[in-house]
Amino acid sequence: MSWCRMTGRVAWLVAVAVGLSADVGRAENWPGWRGPSRNGTSAETGVPVSWSTTKNVAWKTALPGSGISNPIVFADRVFVTASDGKNLANLHVMCLDRDGGGFRWHRRLWGTAPTRYHGSKSSMASPSPLTDGRHVWSFFGTGDVFCVNAATGNLVWHRSLADEYGTIENRFATSSSPLLYRDMVLLQVDHYGASYLVALDQKTGANRWKVDRPGRWLSWSSPQLIRGAAGGDEFIVCGSQRVESFHPATGKALWTVGDMRRECIPTPLFADGRLYVVSGPSGPSMKIRPGGRGDVTATHVEWKNSRGAPFVPSAILVGRRYYLVTDRGIATCLDAGNGKLVWQKRFGGGYTASPVAAADRIYWVNEAGVTLVIRGGGDRYEELSKNPIGESVFASPAISQGRFFLRTTRHLVCFRVVDE
Amino acid sequence: MMSVLRTGLLVAVLAADLACSSLQAADDIDVHLSAIARTGPGGRGSVAARAARERLSREGLDLLPQLLEAMNTKNIVAANWYRSVYEDITRRELAADPAAKFPVSFLKQYVSNPKHQGRVRRLVLDLIDRLEPGYSKSLIPGLIDDPEFRDEAVAVALVRGDNAKKAGQLKRAIAAYESAFRSARNPSQVSSAAGKLKSVDRQVSVVAHMGFVTDWFFLGPFDAPGTTGFDLVLPPEKQVATGVVLKDTYKGKGGGRIGWKRFQTPDPFGQTNLIQVIAPVKEAVGYAYTEINSPRNQTVQLRCGADDNITVWINGKQVLRRLQWLNGTRLDRFRVNVTLRKGNNRMLVKVCQGPQHKNPAVPNNWSLQLRLCDAAGGGVGVTNGLPPLARTGAVDLRRRIAIKESVR
């Protein structure tokens, strides 16, 4: 399918979603990791700012197994993945009703080979699924990629990358969430073994290209897509001491920036023509001007600051402010223009989930399940609310169609403004 | 008379037609099952599999025996297509009639057969549990040597031992712990069972049970600037075809003479810290040599891990070569089938030590762990082929080094 046709279909489906959700300000989907912009931000308004275990809870549904993949939302469906059973190799792809939280379908599948050496905090369902509204693609730590029909859950294709290219080995289970580019699904598979990038045909699962990455150590970072950069679209990956850019249609290497940590987890951000990357702990945040060829570290890094770098949570950009939270709950706000410190604050609690934002509100969920909402974009720290849910949370939330979706270790919860 | 004939003919035609239809349906099923069997790498066969799944999912419970036989495949892609058919049928039948006529006897036989794929047996056991709640609870304890359900059965035996111990029934506790230890292959269960046996004054050897090689001669450090060590061919490798000469000495890193030194690692999981045993250096190569006595000619699994990269030769033949820097030593990281001959077998191992990571906080470990076992991870009856330490006259490093902490 051509890019234009696919975009047209997606736009049509979005339009349908808008029509179905006339009661919300802007009916935006959350179709994959870090949402519609892949930056963690949503243009939605009317998203609840406060809730409790009873207030503003639209529904709460128990999920099988475990997973830190975030839920994704398209029109009136919510998709989520999980794993359970022996070695966590029993996989689940599920579709829930956006309004009622009931299961529309539930596809159970076998994983090929659980990530070797993964720790107890992780699950095989760490990478988030993604959808174009017609299909759902899911990548698991077992080295499997599945494409299922979004309406029925029926299998469309299955690739066992573990069988074909080796069992994935790392200590948290693979977490890199794939992205869609034209008619391809792009994956970053960096691990102790033979690391690689691969582009799969959306319809058939066949390889469109594959780039081996000798010497690249394990990484959990999800890739980013830059559209319309000076030299065309770019596929950005962070891993093993560098940021690298590839041509997303061919896998051809374009440029690199060094100075990253050996192990990268946060997802790079792209906004206003600039790329923001961070690797930690204690690694640098960098603002990079994309483009060029070869090593552009000396010429394309506009600022660099090592304050407050997290190991796990991704950063978020709201207005002219760049926000980070360390795994131990130290939040840092930098000026996105020059990288200088604006404020730093101890949030408290441990953080695995990445922050998300709706308009100028930033939502930070700690591991105890407390969501802190602050106003973003300004010069000062401004807390709006603190909302406990009473269950542990490691998955990043999703925002769509006026709703806030939070995956706890046991439930998927949908919050909606009903009690304000 | 004519009408009787006409009726008879009609019945015959209908019967033939029915038989043909049945045969055709059976053929259809075979064709669709085969279409799914042909799925594989690169998304191969997905289009045909989609059509096959759609057709097969319309079948009833009669398909289960044939479907489950097809599901007994190593092809994970095909297995998942079959599973989607299986789930569609069983879910529909259970929803329509919870007392539906599932072929329970067949399902039980299927689960009990250890030759069937474990994942399918587990799936079927879940179904039987829905049909006969509690069935797995009665089945599992008897599957202590089963390739799929071993861990659960060992866990049951350990709990049985704990309960007996609490009740003061020491003999029963010991019997349960011994049974658990004998069958355990999961390292944490092996360790747990050994610990519980120790608590009732029974000593067992985790090293022997898991087949760790713990008695070595070590040589090093040789100088290997940067990451050149992996490709350097140093004297022990030049001697590997005929056998390393343990009395020879060489010029080591820094210019001093180095020679082979004997060391028996006390680590219960057979790990040796080469920083302590050879030297706290970077950019170097070390070698380990041992002899393994096998009671028979046999093919076994060599499982090992090393930090950094590792090369292994058995009886002069290279059997494993892995280039991986800064990866840590992990249990059973690398696996390869190797052939041991009856009697003594020579084993040479090369482990490189790379440069310090640019972040000084990243530890520059140098270590080795290696075992010989069967496919399930159990010992294979090999013994140490090196002469007793006292008779070799070799330097016994164990007397010089106090290993204070495990490197694991």
Q: How far apart are CA B353 and CA B286, in angstroms?
A: 8
Task: Report pLDDT for B97.
Answer: 84
Q: How far apart are CA A175 and CA A314, in angstroms?
A: 13
B126 assigned to some structural domain: yes
B279 and B367 inside one domain: yes
Bridge partners for B262 per DSSP: B217, B396
Task: Tell me the CA distances in angstroms from B33 to A138, B53, B70, B124, one per residue in order.
Answer: 25, 9, 7, 19
Q: How far apart are CA B56 and CA B84, in angstroms?
A: 10
pLDDT mean across residues, chain A: 91
Q: How far apart are CA A230 and CA B18, in angstroms?
A: 69
A110 and B47 within 8 Å at the Cβ level: the answer is no
Q: Is pLDDT at B361 greater than 90 in this prediction?
A: no
Bridge partners for A155 per DSSP: A148
pLDDT mean across residues, chain B: 89
DSSP-derived secondary structure letter, B249: E
A205 CB within 8 Å of a chain B CB:
yes
B222 assigned to some structural domain: yes
Instruction: List the single residue in A with minimal CA-CA distance to B150.
Output: A86
| Cβ atoms of residues A26 and A43 within 8 Å | yes
B178 and B54 inside one domain: no
Average pLDDT over residues B108-133: 97
CATH, residue A207: 2.130.10.10
DSSP SS3 for B6: helix
Residue whose token pair is 């390393």: B244
Q: Is pLDDT at A117 greater than 80 in this prediction?
A: no
Q: Is pLDDT at A159 greater than 90 in this prediction?
A: yes
Q: Is pLDDT at A9 greater than 90 in this prediction?
A: no
B191 and B93 inside one domain: no
Lowest-confidence region among A105-109, B107-111, B359-363: B359-363
B408 assigned to some structural domain: no
| Cβ atoms of residues A239 and A217 within 8 Å | yes
My answer on whether omega of the bond before A64 falls inside 30° of 0, hence cis, is: no
Contacts of A297 (CB under 8 A, 6+ apart): A256, A257, A258, A259
- Residues in A 313-372 with any Cβ partner in B closer than 8 A: none
Task: Report pLDDT for A419.
Answer: 66
Q: Is pLDDT at A199 greater than 50 in this prediction?
A: yes
Task: Report pLDDT for A214.
Answer: 86
Q: How far apart are CA A49 and CA A39, in angstroms?
A: 20
B288 assigned to some structural domain: yes
My answer on whether omega of the bond before B223 falls inside 30° of 0, hence cis, is: no
B73 CB within 8 Å of a chain A CB:
no
B223 and B339 inside one domain: yes
B49 and B193 inside one domain: no
Q: How far apart are CA A413 and CA A336, in angstroms?
A: 33
| Cβ atoms of residues A10 and A18 within 8 Å | no
Contacts of A383 (CB under 8 A, 6+ apart): A372, A373, A374
Q: How far apart are CA B175 and CA B157, in angstroms?
A: 9
B195 and B225 inside one domain: no
B43 and A89 within 8 Å at the Cβ level: the answer is no
DSSP-derived secondary structure letter, B327: -
B44 assigned to some structural domain: yes
B198 assigned to some structural domain: yes
> What is the end-to-end Cα distance of chain B in Å, rounded?
93
Between B345 and A121, residue with greater pLDDT: B345
| B50 contacts on A by Cβ (under 8 Å) | 154-156
Of B41, B53, B83, the CB nearest to A110: B83
CATH, residue B377: 2.60.120.260
Task: Report pLDDT for B263.
Answer: 95
Domain residues for the domain of A138 are: 3-416
B198 and B216 inside one domain: no
As for how many domains chain A has, the answer is 1
Domain residues for the domain of B286 are: 210-400
Q: Is pLDDT at B53 greater than 80 in this prediction?
A: yes
Q: Using 50, 70 and 90 to split pLDDT, how confident is the model at A14? A: very low
Of B41, B53, B119, the CB nearest to A155: B53
B253 and B381 inside one domain: yes
Q: Which residue, among B352, B345, B224, B330, has the nearest Cα to B286 in the 3D structure?
A: B352
B152 assigned to some structural domain: no
B344 and B273 inside one domain: yes
Q: Using 50, 70 and 90 to split pLDDT, how confident is the model at A128? A: very high
Gyration radius (Cα) of chain A, Å: 20
Q: How far apart are CA B94 and CA B131, in angstroms?
A: 9
Half-sphere exposure of A184 (CA within 13 A, CB side): 19
- Give the distance from residue A111's alpha carbon to the nearest chain B alpha carbon, in angstroms: 8
Task: Report pLDDT for B363.
Answer: 76
Average pLDDT over residues B73-86: 98
B81 and A89 within 8 Å at the Cβ level: the answer is no
B270 assigned to some structural domain: yes
| A262 contacts on B by Cβ (under 8 Å) | 326, 357, 359, 362
Residue type, A148: V
Task: Report pLDDT for A114.
Answer: 81
B126 and B175 inside one domain: no
DSSP-derived secondary structure letter, A222: P
Between B258 and A261, residue with greater pLDDT: B258
B195 and B215 inside one domain: no
Lowest-confidence region among A157-161, B14-18, B76-80, B337-341: B14-18
Task: Report pLDDT for B326.
Answer: 66
As for how many domains chain B has, the answer is 3
Say how many residues make up chain A.
420
Q: How far apart are CA A30 and CA A399, in angstroms?
A: 6
Alpha helices per DSSP H over B287-393: 389-392
B192 and B222 inside one domain: no
Bridge partners for A303 per DSSP: A287
**pLDDT tens-place string over residues B199-241:** 999 999 999 999 999 999 999 999 999 989 999 999 999 999 8
Contacts of A307 (CB under 8 A, 6+ apart): A285, A332, A334, A341, A344
Instruction: List the single residue in B with minimal CA-CA distance to A88.
Output: B119
A163 and B41 within 8 Å at the Cβ level: the answer is yes
| B47 contacts on A by Cβ (under 8 Å) | 204
